[in-house]
Amino acid sequence: MTNITIIGLGIMGLPMAKNLVKAGYTVTGVNRSPEAVQKLVDAGGNGAASVAEGVKDADVIITMVPDSPDVADVVQGPEGVFANAKKGALWIDNSSIRPDVAKELAEEAVAAGLGVVDAPVSGGEQGAIDGVLSIMTGGSPEDFAKAEPILQAIGKTIVHVGPAGAGQTVKAANQLIVAVNIQALSEAIVFLEAYGVDTDAALKVLGGGLAGSKVLDQKGQKMLDRDFAPGFRLALHNKDLGIVTAAARGAGVSVPLGSAVAQLVTSLVARGDGGLDHSGLLKLTAELSGRE
């Protein structure tokens, strides 16, 4: 399978598409903004003016869009993927959406004659650029086997975690862990700054012990510099935490730390900071201590 169409060329989708081109695939991009499509064309890919046009000859269709309604919008209806993709094509959804929606759409995809895996990614913009994303994949073993070579071009850790929807469930858990870690790091930095500690040195030694994490490695210095240029926007993490809290409630599971951080993220988004990187949690944490 060599012809790949990717729908959604945003912060994550565009570098993923470029890595697929580098891996030797014929890649066609579909995006609301023509500028992003042109960037893919400049990198050796192709562009299509619509979903229907983009998927008609595709062996593999990848969706990388913000939320559950966005995925449904591009796959359903007369102009969508299901109505226009050829029978036997494989649909890979790299978006992060609700597990129940992933299951429902997977059933529709199978009814339309498509293979399907839900394969949300973790690793942020830099992970997408470097092609080292962690990818948690739900679907049948047969469809995962077809998807794995494609996913190897964009990711490093690729794991089949169960049937349709399982990938999205694991991604929700990932977003819970990441959000709580960012909040804990925000509180630690505000605490260190309040005591006038050499924060660069402090994060170096903390990173070498049990407190070390990828969150600290990737976000620590940016937080010290108050550099909140988006790698993963607070608005998207707010959406993901909504998925977490709703899914946890549905399963009868308590997520007290996750729920608290979800409220902090919602507050930042509500006041207009949704375009900042999720490390922007530091802003609110510092303000609550009167230090910003």
State how far Cα 102 lies from the chain centre: 14
Apex CA 12: angle with CA 6 and CA 17, to 5°? Answer: 35
Cα–Cα distance measured from residue 102 to residue 36, given in angstroms and rounded to the nearest whole number: 26
Cα–Cα distance measured from residue 35 to residue 16, given in angstroms and rounded to the nearest whole number: 16
Q: What are phi and psi of 8, to 5 degrees?
A: 110, 100
* Nearest residue to 265 (alpha-carbon basis) of 247, 248, 245, 250: 245
Helices 256-268 + 281-288 axis angle, to 10: 90
The answer to whether 55 touches 61, Cβ cutoff 8 Å, is yes
Cα–Cα distance measured from residue 175 to residue 287, given in angstroms and rounded to the nearest whole number: 24
**Residues annotated as catalytic (active site), given as ranges:** 171
